[in-house]
């Protein structure tokens, strides 16, 4: 009989995650600075039958297509940012790029797991200017820290001087209070023991300073003898005899 030959095409699909480089390229920032950028992304082909069909029927070379799409959208991302913004927006750029690639990857039966921006390289003259700016900023920061330190040291000295002055003032107050208390006690004693004998009190006050030099004052039954002498009491002629 008649025999019909059957031909069967078998294709193997690797559903492991693929690491793919976003090739280095020059891009123009919003402020017209040309910089060199590159990146890396992780893409996994889906294992479902429908996804496999989309990969084989919707795109001829999915790896090349994903890389080209990534490079195109990377240029657009940097074109919307200035150089200064680009240097601090790696995570934002990577997130936006992953979202854009993910939308197309679904149509190709793929899943974009992660995207990273590896290199953002400005021209040499820009890097030299950035280095000078960074050095100047570090010098300004050092000067501010030095000035702050000197100010704090001056404030500490000022505070110490104030505290010393307050201590001296309190000491002077204590001394004055002590002197006032002494005067009060003297006045009380004078009123108590020398009422009607002001002359005797005056004599005590007159000899007070001399007492500091071992000068002796003779007190008799008749009151204060206004005789002052140095050293021991002199021996009278009667005692010598």
Q: Report all structural domains of the chain as residue ranges with CATH numbers, in order of start.
A: 18-122 (3.30.479.30), 198-240 (no CATH)
Q: Which residue has the tokens 């953002």?
A: 120
Local confidence band at 211 (pLDDT 50, 70, 90 cut-offs): low
Mean pLDDT across 61-74: 93
pLDDT of residue 49: 84
Q: What are phi and psi of 16, to 5 degrees?
A: -75, 165
pLDDT of residue 222: 52
Local confidence band at 229 (pLDDT 50, 70, 90 cut-offs): very low
Contact indicator for 15, 47 with CB cutoff of 8 Å: yes
Q: How far is CA 229 from CA 89, 211, 232, in A?
A: 100, 10, 8
Contact indicator for 130, 86 with CB cutoff of 8 Å: no
pLDDT of residue 232: 44
Buried/exposed 9-22: b ≥16 CB within 10 Å, e otherwise: eeeeeeeeebebeb
Whether 215 has a pLDDT exceeding 60, the answer reads no
pLDDT of residue 139: 77
pLDDT of residue 194: 58
Lowest-confidence pick of 73-82, 150-159, 216-225: 216-225
pLDDT of residue 234: 46
Eight-state DSSP code of residue 30: T
Local confidence band at 228 (pLDDT 50, 70, 90 cut-offs): very low
Local confidence band at 118 (pLDDT 50, 70, 90 cut-offs): very high
Residues of the chain with pLDDT > 70, as a percent, come to 73
Which range, 89-103, 146-160, 173-187, has the best average confidence (pLDDT)?
A: 89-103
């Amino acid at each position: 009989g008649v025999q019909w030959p059957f031909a069967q095409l078998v294709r193997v699909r690797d559903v492991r995650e693929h690491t793919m480089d976003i090739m280095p390229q020059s891009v123009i920032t919003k402020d017209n600075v040309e910089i060199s950028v590159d990146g890396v992304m992780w893409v996994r082909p889906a294992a479902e039958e429908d996804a496999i069909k989309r990969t084989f029927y919707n795109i001829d070379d999915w790896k090349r297509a994903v890389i080209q799409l990534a490079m195109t959208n990377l240029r657009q991302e940097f074109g919307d940012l200035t150089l200064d913004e680009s240097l601090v927006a790696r995570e934002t750029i990577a997130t936006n790029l992953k979202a854009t690639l993910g939308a197309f990857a679904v149509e190709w039966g793929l899943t974009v797991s992660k995207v990273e921006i590896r290199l953002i390289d400005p021209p040499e003259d820009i890097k030299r200017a950035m280095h000078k700016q960074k050095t100047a900023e570090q010098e300004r920061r050092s000067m501010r820290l030095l000035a702050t330190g000197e100010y704090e040291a001056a404030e500490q000295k000022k505070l110490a001087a104030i505290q010393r002055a307050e201590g001296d003032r309190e000491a002077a107050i204590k001394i004055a209070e002590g002197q006032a208390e002494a005067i009060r006690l003297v006045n009380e004693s004078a009123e108590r023991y020398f009422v009607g004998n002001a002359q005797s009190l005056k004599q005590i006050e007159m000899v007070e300073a001399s007492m500091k030099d071992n000068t002796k004052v003779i007190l008799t039954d008749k009151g204060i003898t206004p005789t002052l002498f140095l050293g021991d009491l002199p021996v009278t002629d009667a005692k010598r005899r």
